[in-house]
Amino acid sequence: MVLNSEFFNTVSSLQEKIASGEAVVTVVGMGYVGLPLALNFAKASLRTIGLDIDPGKVETLNRGESYIEHIDAVQIAEVRDGGKFEATTDFSLVAESDAIIICVPTPLTKHHEPDLSYVVSTVESIAPHLKAGQLVSLESTTYPGTTDEELLPRIEAQGLKVGEDCFLVFSPEREDPGNPDFTNTTIPKVIGGTTAACLEAGQALYQLVCDTVVPVSSTQAAEFTKLLENIYRSVNIGLVNEMKIVAEAMNVDIWEVIRAAATKPFGFTPFYPGPGLGGHCIPIDPFYLTWKAREYNIHTRFIELAGEINTSMPQYVIHRVSEELNRQRKSLNGSRVLVMGLAYKPNVDDVRESASFKLMDLLADQGVEVDYFDPHVPVIPSTRENVRWTGKKSIKWNQENVSSYDNVIIATAHDRYNIDEIAEWCDSLVDTRNIFAGREMKPGQLIKA
């Protein structure tokens, strides 16, 4: 139901509520992006509602507990006890809010096309509860045009005029789970509005919790900014992954080459090879732009080539494992292989799009008995993409277990690994992360991939 727009129907009145601390913020999606953002608003003394369709997450949060390793439960308990944060599955509470921030997944379909179903269903769920004077912000990474093409018409279908009665912005998340040097308060926050008034309202909100807000001219510019950031990384990782294959064929250590090149004080930024891409951004976001570019008859060759190289890396790693087993006069079929590291990056419990799942799939499909060890992921959670492995447990770390494998793949370089024990207990290692750099190993014990 659309309420009368007599009250709070200008950007100045919304700014006043934000500045006075009277504004209520709802963050939709209590994952790696939405939860820390919601906690920041609650810490800024705004009443904050964490909205999620998963009742398990809601119950956990309302008990003051955490389900994300790098988010301390103490933070949640403090804002719960202070009465500034509550979690819910009830979309009708949007009517009590002054700002609604959408932080839901934007995955790909099996055909590598954008899947906006989570965004669309969220907007359609909040739309009946929208009223004049509110701000809606989309943070989910997407192709340029999404905010104005998908959100705006659904909002205005409620009888509200964006830019006059209510406000709409896109402000891409820049969350980096587990990064000790940057947080979502210190990372500059890019924001674009559908109108100038929308941008002004969005800046007022985000300035409460972000040290630096970077305005751009439109929601499309903000959407494109996020894609460029991740495409830049994808293309450079694709380049160094290809260089790794060339270097290994020439018996050159690519890691040594990167270290040497990085001494140049200008014109070079080091990127590092690996077993494939992981996380919700780099494996997915570039394909949002390739898809949208086809609408303009543009073939994004760099992006697609980088994607092709990066997605082939797990197969390359398995090829190297097969070579190592052949050296031992063993085949893949019937061998036992341990994958070290399930999280997509070091020192976190985030398994989204982790290349380790692809490694495990490829090995299992060829008759390998596959296990994993990850001190951050004791049990594989239920995910949309990896149902095959749901509930599988990390092995217990002891010499008897670890030494029983025919090969061990280092897929993620967690700091909590005991490098000495790995080197002592494992006779056959495939290292995709160079964790044994500078260490003297047994003859034939280690190959890099």
| Backbone CA torsion sign across 145, 344, 386, 67 | negative
> CB under 8 Å to 339, separation ≥6 — which residues?
356, 359, 360, 363, 370, 371, 372, 373, 409, 411
Alpha carbons 394 and 413: distance in angstroms, whole number: 16
| Tokens, residue 112 | 């590598």
Please tell me the number of Cα atoms within 13 Å of 430 on its side-chain side.
26
| Tokens, residue 158 | 């409620």
| Tokens, residue 210 | 């972000």
> What residue type is 57 in one-letter code?
K
| Tokens, residue 4 | 């009368």
Q: What is the 3-state secondary structure (H, E, C) of 123-152?
A: HHHHHHHCCCCCEEEECCCCCCCHHHHHHH
Matching residue, tokens 């965004």:
119
Query: How many CB atoms are located within 10 Å of the residue 193 CB?
Result: 29
Question: CA geometry: angle at 129 spanning 124 and 134, to 5°?
Answer: 100
Nearest to residue 28, comparing CAs of 95, 100, 80, 81?
Answer: 100
What would you report as the CA-atom Rg of the chain, rounded to the nearest whole angstrom?
24
Read off the DSSP letter of residue 370. Answer: E
Q: Tell me the DSSP string of 276-308.
A: S--SSSTTTHHHHHHHHHHTTT---HHHHHHHH
Q: Which residues are catalytic?
A: 281
Task: Classify burial at 375, counting beta carbons within 10 Å of its beta carbon; exposed 0-12, middle 13-18, buried 19 or more.
Answer: middle
CB 184, CB 36: distance < 8 Å: yes
| Tokens, residue 357 | 């799942």
Alpha carbons 352 and 338: distance in angstroms, whole number: 20
